[in-house]
Amino acid sequence: MNKDQILSMTALALGQAIRDKKTTSVEATAALLAAISENEPKYNCYISVFEKQALSDAKAVQVKIDSGELTSPLAGVPVAIKDNMCTKDRQTTCGSKILSNFIPPYSATMVSKLEAAGAVIIGKLNMDEFAMGSTTETSYYGVTKNPWDVSRVPGGSSGGAAAAVSAGEAFLAFGSDTGGSIRQPCSFCGVSGIKPTYGTVSRFGLVAYASSLDQIGPIGQNILDCAAALNIVMGKDPKDQTTMDSTPVDLDEARAFDVKGLRIGIPLDYFGEGLDPDVKARVLEAAEKLKSMGAILEEFRLPIVEYAVPTYYIIACAEACSNLSRFDGIKYGFRAEGAKDLLDVYFKSRSEGFGLEVKHRIMLGNFVLSSGYYDAYYRKALQVKALIKKSFDEAFAKYDLILGPTAPTTALPIGESLSDPLKMYLGDIYTVLVNIVGLPAATIPCGLDSRGLPVGMQLIGNHRQEQTIINAAAAFQRATDFHLQKPNRNEGQV
């Protein structure tokens, strides 16, 4: 197979081609490395690329595939990982200056699982610093450009991951989603992704942002690639006590699934003020498509949406300020020069090591946890969390899935969000609720806006109902070709 044939494949197709001996893991890795070095100057998806190690890993994996020792559907396939998941002996920066020299002495559980299944770790993807942001602009390593229009952001915080898959710089990527960081960049870059039920994928080795919300998940060219990737990394891990045993997604069931009789709720509160008319139109057309295929659609109210953003930012910042206290210039990474005493080491290292957005969040988190404000903000947010749980329980008594937009807009111009952070926070309105109550949700492309930029629709399921989400998404992708639309990569602009 030649380089272009290899690069045109999905991750599952490439895995099959390697098992069928039509190509090899080394050929695929070399082809991808060439695509990365050709496109990186345009898009900046990666923080580091493990060229040498990936090629030698691919060689070792190929031997095991040939001997029949490795049979996983993704054995031999190069996989890219957001730079907040630890890779033993390979730089892990979390998009921050404070971890710019951090070489982890261990790998995240999900990285070890991928390697055990024969996936080849090709490199680490750009992201908002500590996964805080919706644009990848807060990265210490520069913004990633959206492959559909290089003057626009790829979304965030897993912007490097979504852009890499969209730009043909990754067959498959892993992101993390604390409040939408897998789904929103997938929506902006026209690719598919899933944030699993909280506890499905181990967070051991994931640099923590907000521990009760963080979850790792796959990003791919279609939902079946994502499902295959999820199956490899899921499962109970003694090193993360919040994990549980999960049933692998049955890909054959998804391939044959008929949406006839599937009950889908359309939350009217996801279609109100602030939603771009093009996004609204594309998502409602997608809902109509599912209806024409036999799904039963019903509108319902989810008024709790109004409280989504404040509740999320209180909980996320409270947990973040505590999690980030470990970065003090002593234990990990960057230490500032010229400190007078120990306190000054902490002060200077954190002042120089963290970027502005991270500092905002640390201050906000300390504020909502401080003794005078704890009851008014943090405790209140936990009470609202209970109400959100109740609203979703009521909805899932009636519906198998909830369908709505992933984000209120398509990709925004670079520079627009950081000048108005409140507007950026409001952009998380449709994604954060599911993190607050630990639900699974996927996003898949459902068309283009009037500028030719991709629109994503979100499918939310009840706890542990990844199969239902993937079944419906796979049926939609069989019946449509939105996921096959690609940016004009030569121009970088549609």
Quote the least distance from Cβ 15 to ligand GLN, whole Å.
28
Give the side-chain half-sphere CA count within 13 A for 360. Answer: 14
Contacts with ligand GLN in 461-490 (CB under 6 A)? none
Pick one of 428, 456, 458, 487: the residue that binds ligand GLN (CB under 6 A): 428
H/E segment holding residue 122: strand 120-125
Consecutive H or E run containing 79: strand 78-82
- How many residues touch ligand GLN (CB under 6 A)? 13
Decide: residue 307, CB within 10 A, 0-12 exposed, 13-18 middle, 19+ buried. Answer: middle
CB of residue 174 to ligand GLN, shortest distance in Å: 13
Which residues lie below 8 Å from residue 410, measured CB to CB, with a gap of 6+? 187, 188, 276, 278, 279, 449, 451, 453, 454, 455
Provide, rounded to whole angstroms, the least separation between the CB of residue 126 and ligand GLN: 13
Phi, psi of 216 (to 5 degrees): -90, 145
For residue 209, state whether it binds ligand GLN (rule: CB under 6 A).
yes
Nearer to ligand GLN, 50 or 425 (CB): 425
Smaller CB distance to ligand GLN: residue 14 or 434? 434
Question: Per the structure block, which two tokens stand in for 403?
Answer: 């369908």
Indicate whether 134 belongs to the interface with ligand GLN (CB under 6 A): yes
Nearest-approach distance from CB 179 to ligand GLN, in angstroms: 3
Q: What 3-state class would DSSP assign to 292?
A: helix
Question: Of 118, 123, 160, 179, which lies in the binding site for ligand GLN, with binding defined by CB under 6 A?
Answer: 179
Q: Which stretch binds ligand GLN (CB under 6 A): 179-187, 217-225, 387-395, 403-411?
A: 179-187
What count of other Cβ atoms lies within 10 Å of the Cβ of residue 212?
Answer: 15
Active-site pick, 96, 112, 134, 157:
157
Stretch of 113-121, 127-135, 162-170, 216-224 lying at the interface with ligand GLN (CB under 6 A): 127-135
Residue 204 gets which letter from DSSP? T
Our CB check for ligand GLN shows the closer of 57 and 428 to be 428
- Region binding ligand GLN by CB under 6 A among candidate stretches 16-24, 69-77, 175-183, 240-248: 175-183
433's CB contacts (< 8 A; 6+ apart) are: 304, 305, 308, 312, 388, 392, 439
Alpha carbon distance 399, 413 (integer Å): 37
Residue 181 engages ligand GLN in binding (rule: CB under 6 A): yes
Q: Which of 45, 316, 412, 475 binds ligand GLN (CB under 6 A)?
A: 316
- Out of 45, 54, 132, 163, the residue judged to bind ligand GLN by CB under 6 A: 132
What single-letter amino acid sits at 113? K
Tell me how far apart the alpha carbons of residues 314 and 326 are, in angstroms, rounded to a whole number.
20
Q: Is 88 a catalytic residue?
A: no
> Does residue 122 contact residue 354 with C-beta atoms inside 8 Å?
no
Q: Residue 185 interacts with ligand GLN (CB under 6 A)? A: no
- Known catalytic residue: 181? yes
Let me know if 82 is a catalytic residue: yes
Per-residue string for binding with ligand GLN, 154-173, x by CB under 6 A?
A: ---x----------------
Which helix H or strand E contains 211, and what residues bound it?
none
Distance between CA atoms of 177 and 202, rounded to whole angstroms? Answer: 13
Give the count of beta carbons closer than 10 Å to the beta carbon of residue 64. 15
Binding test (CB under 6 A) with ligand GLN, winner from 25, 178, 222, 311: 178
Backbone angles phi, psi at 160, to 5 degrees: -60, -40
| Active-site entry in 181, 187, 192, 202 | 181
Distance between CA atoms of residues 208 and 254, nearest Å: 32
Nearest distance from C-beta of residue 436 to ligand GLN, angstroms? 12
| Position among 15, 76, 123, 133 found at the interface with ligand GLN (CB under 6 A) | 133
Tell me which of 57, 177, 237, 466 binds ligand GLN, using CB under 6 A.
177
For ligand GLN, the closer of residues 257 and 313 by Cβ is: 313
Dihedrals phi, psi of 35, to nearest 5 degrees = -65, -40
Catalytic residues: 82, 157, 181
The residue ranges that bind ligand GLN (CB under 6 A) are 131-134, 157, 177-181, 209, 316, 428
